[in-house]
Structure 1
Amino acid sequence: MNIIISGWRFDLSALMLANIVFYGIFFLVFPWTASLTGIWRVWRGLFIGWNLLFILLNLADFAYFPLVQKRMQMDAMQFLTGEKGSDFYRLLPEFILQFWYIPFLVILAYIFLNRLIPFSIFKAEILRNKNTKSIFQSLFSLSIFGALSIIAIRGGFQLKPIDSVNAGQMTDSRKIPAVVNTTFTLLRSRGKNNLTEDLSGKWNYEAELQKKIIQPFKRDSFKSWNVVILIVESLSHKYLHNDQKWNATPFLDSLLNEGLYMENSYANAKESIQGIPAILSSIPSLQKDPYINSIYSTNQISSLPNELKNKSYTTGFFHGGQNGTMRLDLFAKMAGIEKYFGKNEYNNDSDFDGKWGIWDHKFLSRVVDELNLSPEPFVYSIFTMNPHHPFQIPEEFAKEMQVQKEPLINCLRYTDYALRTFFERAKKQKWYDNTLFVITADHTGKNVDEVYRVMTDIFKIPILFFKPKDISPLKDSTTIVNQIDIFPSVLALLNYDRAFFSYGRNVFDTTGKNYCINLSYGLYQYVDSDYIVLHDGQKIVEIYDQKKDIYNTTNLVNTLDPLIIKKYNDLILLETNCFSHSLIHNMMVSSKIHK
């Protein structure tokens, strides 16, 4: 009930914002076009069609939200324009079949609107007002309606119009998507592309960016290990070590016991297009647009492949999806990757799954062949296709792996099998023993059993550093690790001897800050060993004690020591403003920062 009550401001704001032009025409033009009934037939048709579009988009969030854990925003329209690849149109028939009730509900909505706004209303109103409606009355009605509309669109009388983050003032931040609506989030996110920075002089950006330059590691001589970063699609931490309930990842579970398993690890965001730049270039997702699609995508950036090219490494990126999907091939070039190997390079459509790309077990086997042909040392990233909606399994494995009601878990079994066969083949190759493997996820997957009880679970993924014979097995449950930390941590393991820029940190350096920061539901989420802090870009709106309140039920924002609140407020503002400054001024490589 609280969610319904809290949501009415956002519903009314969206309703008025979406239809303000139609309402204005109705009040301003209607009284003087009594005889032009054709105009009103067109008006009515456009009004119904326009609102049906937003009804469709709200219903489409039944399919979209479980995948990304946020309401649809304008960046989702990039699936339609092709900026995030052409996969949407290829999968559209599958979506229609799975979510058949959405077109059905749209048809019902059309019938409802058609009956709610019959043309006879206009006809009767035209005849009634033909000789009585004065200019003064019309303008008076319009002015009253206009004033009320502005209040409704702004969501009240407060200084600034409401945005999605305001929902956090009315309910727990985990319930924000239920309070807002898709129409509101779409229209409010429109045009928000350019970053801003605080120019008050409060922050010393140059000094802060200097701290992002990681100095050479001089403990020993450089280790020319091969590096393979294995990025598993939608691999949530909660899917692993769950043998009593699902037992979906027996191979991955065993592998986690053979290396340095950073258990307290977090994804950068909720989409692959944000996860890949985080892993390879330590680019945090602190803006609403994914970096790859933002106006800053042509900036100079540091990256793991670029740095290792200084050591004569061969570089490459393997992904069995359609070439061009999410512009990953373009980002690969920006990150200094020489070889992109996708569906086109695989060049065998008989292994195409019909939806996304090449079946993982086939593609990963081919990757082993390609690595056998590669000069050493090399640094390669491998991004799997599965588990991914619609969670298909090759026909030959269907009987063996389709044992759960949840399709995602069955698909995860297949992914685990594909990874096992990859490592079984890799172990037999001469390059295997000299290879550092980093295993992680691009982002978390669909929530399949219950709501996220802890706020951080929405981002929690595995990160494993595995090197045969060289890295002792260990599970680290205390160090907080983010995807952006992979790039500098790999270079630390190699004893890299050059300075480089990174927003991530070397997780093996125990003297550094132990924290991560994400953007969730329009709020910055800052996590360290003591607190989880949610910040709306201006102030802290929620803060929870990590040690005493493990399920994040007691918001301490009004009761905690003001000095602690100020400390975290300044930390978050410094971090976010520094990031904006570095993008705006193209300062994400060490050579751009004044010494």
Structure 2
Amino acid sequence: MWATYYLPVNYVTAMKLQFKSRLVVLLIRLLLVYVAFMLCRVLFYTFNDTLIDPVSATPMWSLIKGSLMFDTVSIIYINLLFIFLSLIPLRISGNKKYQNATFAVFMVFNGLGLLVNVADIFYYPFKQARIVLGDFVLLKDDSFLPLLGDFVADYWYGFLFYFGLIALLWWGYKAVGQKAQPKASNRRFYLEHAAYIVVMGVLVAFFIRGATFSASSYPITMNDAFLYTENPTHTSVILSNPFCILRTIGRSKDVPNLKYFDEAVAQNMAPTTHTSMDWDAYDIDRNTNVFVIILESFGKAHIKSFSDQFKPGQETNTPFIDSIMQESYVFTNTFQNGRRSIDALPAIWASIPSFKDHFLSLPNSVAAYHGLPECMDEMGYQTAFFHGGVKESMGFVSFGKTTGIKNFYSREEYEAENGNGDFDGKWGIWDHKFLPYVHKKLNGMDKAQKPFFATLFTLSSHHPYSIPEGMENKFTEGTLPIHRAIKYSDYALGQFFNSIKNEPWFNNTLFIITADHSSGADSPKFNKQPYEYSIPLMFFKPGGKFKGKDDKVMQHMDIMPTLLGMLDYDKPYFAFGTDHFNKTTAKDHFAVNHSNGVYNCTTDDFCYIFNEKDVITKFAYKTDPLGKHNLISKKTAKDEATIRALKSFLQEYSIHVNNRDYLPKGEKQAKAMALNK
């Protein structure tokens, strides 16, 4: 009668270590996998240390912490079935055949995971990046089998190492088991095992989301390795497979290799290395502070001063934005370069758009950058990023580190100073609470007697569009559920500006105010491309002459080159966008987005729909916002020039993203020479 639902006595006696709890046995067996993964990492670094910068440049604990995080997620992914089989409340789970099947699942899945991890050790010199799903396209090549044979022959000792790890798992699994116990009652049995499953489920969700339960955190991506280091070569040490493969499922074809012209022709038509041109920026120079404000979900459709769809007498949702617009240089025809919040910062800080998928979710985003924050740092600016969510939120902080941001102020820093009473219960700190904290920190930066470059990403105008307790009656409902939340965030922003207007740094600050993305609309016009991607953008310099309206096309990825042009940045820089005020490069400029499997190319006059082969639609979106009249049959020489420019742009984008090349030509070559030395 003993242990009939756990393990037969003759099976148990072969074990060396026995524990009462099934959960403890499971965790110890998973610990064995940790040991195997860490041994892989040690050999990985030993074998590839000449290709990786000295790890002394990154604090050792940070490397270890990052490695444990990514190993944890890898181990969870490949052991989900094993975890389920180990904890499922079935009486037959103690049967020898069931135990053998569970053991087989453990060995097969972990064996495959370790095989990829070991292969990564020896494949890394050829690619200098971790293996991802897209690399398996080599399986289709006729030369794959001969190359595989050579690989096995050249690195035979790697396979010995691999089989040693398999032996370790085999022996370790058999050395741990569960003590035989009297048969428990059904109630106790099911309650106990239900508790095990709940505990393990919570742990799995916690670690897959990056060791946080924040609602704004996503399952961690490869780019989150930058949370633990600023050195791109060190991310390869931190990352592990099969994480890199599983997180790139469905993304191996996100950036197709588009080829329309000879490479020299495409580079000439769509250059990515730029130099700034002198421009009369009124009273804006390198002593001017720059504060970028990204408003969550503030699509142009919701802002009365930007939209022509409000009915006569209809209440505005954004009285503060409307008021400051009158004192700003306003870009009236601006478009986002992605679909969600995660796409905004790469476009603004690095001039890199997102098309078929979020750029930061691509394995190709793990690379070296020379972004806007680093350029500002070179000009003597302090750099900071403010966001009321947790650090892991959407990869903002990790990407900020790669582009040169030095100071980060997130929910963790806010609550360390102010307690946890201002959490909105979903995303982070309420806007009207977080913005005074931003004010305080900017005052501190001003005391350093250096100009600052700061970026604020607001938070509260996000689903479920909650309003802080005590303010429920302050904001009326609009025509969409989001409007009430936008009214609240606009109010918080107005309070912020009212509080900073007397600070000594206020009049010496250029405020760049935009939105991360649009968020639906109550009119057909703003639910149709290109207007569905319409966002506000204004440059506000208090008390200055920099005012007016500009109807020429602008987009997120143009902000970086435009700002660097205004500040006369004197080095080459990388950008997919264009300096809006450079009359040479901005001539016949266009904005690009992607939706429903096609690209939308928007010029000052027309919107073109391009399916990677042909332009299938052309319409005059300003007079025909719903695109009812297809003018493709009336193509002109100017249309042909625009289409050639678009194809060149997309070809250059695919080349640079596939090559992880986001540096200006001179800097790329210099870093390559340094690496070779």
* TM-score of Structure 1 vs Structure 2, range by shorter chain: 0.5 to 0.7
Q: Residue type matched to 1:357 in 2?
A: G
Cα deviations across residues 93-121 of structure 1 (Å, max 9, x unaligned)? xxxxxxxxxxxxxxxxxxxxxxxxxxxxx
Per the alignment, in what secondary structure is the counterpart of residue 506 of structure 1? coil
Which of 365, 371, 385 pairs up with 2:436? 365
Contact 2:606 2:620 in 1 (8 A): yes
Which residue of structure 1 aligns with residue 176 of structure 2? none
Gaps of 5+ in 1: 1-77, 92-186
Among 487, 500, 504, the alignment partner of 2:573 is 500
What do residues 205-260 of structure 1 show as CA deviations (whole Å, max 9, x unaligned)? 54456464133537699431111000000011121125832321111100111110
Q: Is the 8 A contact 2:388 2:434 kept in 1?
A: yes
> Does structure 1 residue 231 correspond to structure 2 residue 294?
yes
Secondary structure of 1:354 counterpart: coil
Shift of 1:489: 1.5
Query: Sequence identity, in percent?
Result: 29
**Distance in 1 between the 2:361 and 2:272 partners?**
27
**Match for residue 482 of structure 2?**
408
2:273 and 2:399 map into 1 onto residues whose CA distance is: 22
**Relative contact order: is structure 1 or structure 2 higher (C-alpha 8 Å, sep ≥ 6)?**
1
Aligned to 1:274: 343
Pick the aligned partner of 1:554 from 618, 629, 633: 629
> In 1, distance between residues paired with 2:510 and 2:543?
10
AA matched with 1:235 = F
Change (3 A) 1:547 1:401: closer
- Could you tell me how far 1:555 is from its partner in structure 2? 1.5
How far apart in 2 are the matches of 1:588 and 1:422? Answer: 35
Match of 2:21 in 1: none
Deviates more, 1:187-196 or 1:320-329: 187-196
Secondary structure in structure 2 of the residue aligned to 1:370: helix
Aligned to 1:99: none
Which of the residues 452, 455, 462 maps onto 1:388?
Answer: 462
1:82 aligns with 2:201: no
The question of 1:491 aligning with 2:564 is answered: yes
Q: Show the counterpart of 2:596.
A: 521
Q: Residues 345 and 195 from structure 1, CA distance in 2 versus in 1: closer, same or farther, beyond 3 angstroms?
A: farther
Q: Could you tell me which residue of structure 1 aligns to residue 548 of structure 2?
A: 474
**Residue 582 to residue 83, structure 1, CA distance change in 2 (3 Å):** farther
Give the letter for the 1:322 counterpart: V
**Match for residue 8 of structure 1?**
none
Tell me the CA shift for residue 502 of structure 1: 1.6
TM-fit CA distance, 1:295: 1.3
Aligned Cα root-mean-square deviation (Å): 3.1
Cα displacement string for residues 463-500 of structure 1 (whole angstroms, at most 9, x for unaligned residues): 01011122433122x21110111112222222333332
Q: Which residue of 2 aligns with 1:71?
A: none
Partner letter of residue 341 of structure 1?
Y
Deviation at residue 589 of structure 1 after TM alignment = 1.7
Q: C-alpha distance in 2, partners of 1:203/1:523? A: 26
Deviation string, structure 1 residues 133-155 (Cα, Å, up to 9, x no partner): xxxxxxxxxxxxxxxxxxxxxxx
Equivalent-residue separation in structure 2 for 1:84 and 1:534 (angstroms): 42
Shift of 1:556: 2.5
Shift of 1:194: 4.9
Distance (Å, rounded) in 1 between the aligned partners of 2:636 and 2:319:
47
What amino acid sits opposite 1:373 in the alignment?
G
Deviation at 1:199, TM superposition (A): 8.1
Residue 571 of structure 2: SS of its match in structure 1?
A: coil
Does residue 1:264 correspond to 2:318, yes or no?
A: no
Matches within 5 A, 1:289-308: 289-308=357-376
Which residue number corresponds to residue 620 of structure 2? Answer: 545
What is the aligned partner in structure 1 of residue 453 from structure 2? Answer: 379
What residue in structure 2 maps to residue 135 of structure 1?
none
Q: CA 1:587–1:495 in 2, change beyond 3 Å: closer, same or farther?
A: same
Q: Cα distance, 1:281 vs. partner?
A: 1.2
Q: Using a 3 Å threshold, how does the CA distance of structure 1 residues 79 and 284 change in structure 2: closer, same or farther?
A: farther
Whether the 8 Å contact between 1:210 and 1:593 is mirrored in structure 2 is no
Q: 1:583 to 1:437 in 2, by over 3 A?
A: same
Task: Assess, with a 3 A threshold, how the Cα gap between structure 1 residues 357 and 415 changes in structure 2: closer, same or farther.
Answer: same
Matched residues in 1 for 2:249 and 2:627: separation? 28
The question of 1:351 aligning with 2:388 is answered: no
How far apart are residue 446 of structure 1 and its match? 2.6
Whether contact under 8 Å (2:600, 2:608) holds in the other structure is yes
- Residue of structure 2 in register with 1:332 after alignment: 400
Whether the aligned pair in 2 keeps the contact of 1:434 and 1:468 (CA below 8 Å) is yes
TM-score, with length taken from structure 2 = 0.58
For 1:83 and 1:297, how far apart are their aligned partners in 2?
18
Cα distance, 1:399–1:545 mapped onto 2, change above 3 Å: closer
Stretch of structure 1 that moved more, 317-326 or 187-196:
187-196
Counterpart AA for 2:390: Q
Which of 607, 614, 628 aligns to 1:532? It is 607
**Comparing 442-451 with 559-568, which one deviates more in the overlay?**
559-568
**Counterpart position of 1:148:** none
Which structure has the larger Rg? 2
Amino acid at match of 2:363: I
Deviation at 1:429, TM superposition (A): 1.3
1:320-365 alpha-carbon deviations (Å, 9 max, x no partner): 0122011111001011001111100111210000011000010001
User: Residue 573 in 1 paired to residue 647 in 2?
Assistant: yes
Which one-letter code corresponds to 2:424 in the other structure?
D
Contact 1:285/1:291, CA 8 A, preserved across alignment: yes
